[in-house]
Amino acid sequence: MMRHLNKPRGTKYRVIYVFSRYCYPLRAARNKTYIFGYEGWYMGIKGVELRKYIPIIKWQKNERLALSFLEEDIKQCVLPCLEIRNHDQHTKLLECFEEVWDAPAIIDYANPQGVLTVERIRELREFLKYARDNEHPIVPALNPMDALVYSNTNLIKAISKHEEIALRLRVSDFKITDANIANCKKADELFAGKNKRLIVDFGNSPQEKDAVNLNDLDLNLKKLRSEGFKNIHIISGAFPSDLSSVKNGPKNFIRYDLEFWKNIQSRHSRGPLGYGDYGILSPGWTEETLQRRGSRVAIRYTCEGSWFILRGANAKKSESIALSELLLNVYEDVFKGADYSWGDKIIADRANQELKDKDKKSGGYHFAEAWNHHITFVIKELIKKTP
C-alpha cells in the first residue's frame, strides 16, 4: 500500500496528478516533480494538475467516516468537493478536517442553489484563513456569477491567496448558454495567473439520450476550452431521491451519471473531461432529508453500471444484519468481498455469525459503508477499463 505523500513545508516542488494503471509515486528528480495517478484514463504534461475523480459529498458524520477510511492508494486519486452548507458543518470542518482528510479538497460554502449568502461568506473566509495558516491544500469553489458579484471584495482577495481555484458552473436543462460561457470567461480573468478547474454541474443526470443535445453541449464545451479552460469536469447525479419503490427483494437503479459522462466524452475531441458524481445521494438531497434517514435501513451497493439496493422493513440492527447476510449469501455474485474496501468489510462483519451483534455496525454506518464502497469502486472501475 502506498503511503500518502505530503508536501513538506517550505518545499518548492509542484504536485501533478497523472492517472496510471497503478497508483504509485514517481519522482522526476531533475525538476522535483511528484506524479501520482492512473495512466491511460488521463494523460498530462509537466506543470498541469490533471483531473481526478470528484465526488460531491456533504461534510456530515457518516460521510466523514467514509472519507477517513479510504485506502491510501484510492485517496490519492480522489479530489472531493466538500459541501459546507450550514454552521454546524463549518464548525466540524474547522475541528476535524486534518484528522479526517488532510489532503487536497475542493471546498464549497454555497447553498444548494450555488449562491453564497452573507453568513456563508463570513464562514468561508474564516476557513480559508485556517487552511492557509495550517498549509492545508484547499481549492476554494465559487460560482462564476458570485465571483463577478464579489469581484471587489475581501472574499476574492482571500480566495486569490490559494494556488488553485474551482469555478462551479451549475447549468439547467443540460444546456451551457452563451451567458454561462461569458461569465466563466470573466471569472477566469478575475483569477488570472491561478490554476483553475471548471466544474460543469448538471444536477440530475438525464435518463433519456434525446433529453440532451450532445452536439450542442460538445460545441459549448469546446468554446470553454477555447477560453482557456483546460481542466474541465462533468458532474451529475443519478441516485434516486426516494427508495420507496424497493419492496420485496433487490432493485437496480441505472448509473445514468456515468453514462452521461461517457456520452459527452465520446464526442469531445479536445481532450479528457474529468468525471464526478453525487455518489449515493440525489443531487436534490437537502438537510431536511437527513431527518428521514432512519426510518428503514438499506444497503446501497455500487456496481458496474447500476446501484444494487436492498431495503429492510425497519431500522433495527437485526434488519441490517439480515440484509447483509442476504447480500453475502444469496447475491454473492454482486458482493466484491470483505477486502475490497472498508465499507465492504463493515457489511461482511455484519453478516459474520461468529461476531457478536454488539460488535456489528448499523444505522448511519449504512451511509458510510455505501460512500466508501462507491468511491473505491469508481476508481477501480475506471482503472479496470483502462486499455
**208's grid cell:** 433519456
CATH code, 219: 3.20.20
Kindly list the distances between the CA atom of residue 103 and the CA atoms of 98, 170, 271, 326, 354, in Å, as whole numbers in the listed order: 8, 25, 26, 36, 37
If one counts the domains in the chain, the total is 1
In-domain check, residue 125: yes
pLDDT at position 135 over 80:
yes
Q: Is residue 307 part of a domain?
A: no
Q: Residue type at 310?
A: L
* Strand residues in 127-211 grouped as ranges (E): 138-142, 164-170, 195-204
The string of pLDDT tens digits covering residues 54-99 is 999 999 999 999 999 999 999 999 999 999 999 999 999 999 999 9
Host domain of residue 81: 54-293+378-382
Phi and psi of 125, rounded to 5°?
Answer: -60, -35
Q: Please give the angle made by the CA atoms of 275, 281 and 287, to the nearest 5 degrees.
A: 125
Burial annotation 144-180 (CB, 10 A radius, 16+ → b, else e): bbbbeebeeeebbebbeebebbbbbbbbeebebeeeb
**Per-residue pLDDT tens over the stretch 95-122:** 999 999 999 999 999 987 788 999 999 9
Q: Is residue 356 part of a domain?
A: no
Residue 150 lies in a domain: yes
Checking if the pLDDT of 23 tops 60, the result is no
Residue 331 is assigned to a structural domain of this protein = no
Ramachandran area for residue 342 (φ above 0: left; ψ -120 to 50: alpha; else beta): alpha
The predicted pLDDT at position 294 comes to 56
Question: Is residue 346 in some structural domain?
Answer: no
Which set of grid coordinates corresponds to residue 49?
Answer: 494538475
Q: What is the structure's pLDDT at 249?
A: 86
8 A C-beta contact, residue 16 and residue 49? yes
Residue 226 lies in a domain: yes
Contact between residue 190 and residue 158 where contact means Cβ atoms under 8 Å apart = no
231 within some domain: yes
Please tell me the number of Cα atoms within 13 Å of 345 on its side-chain side.
Answer: 11
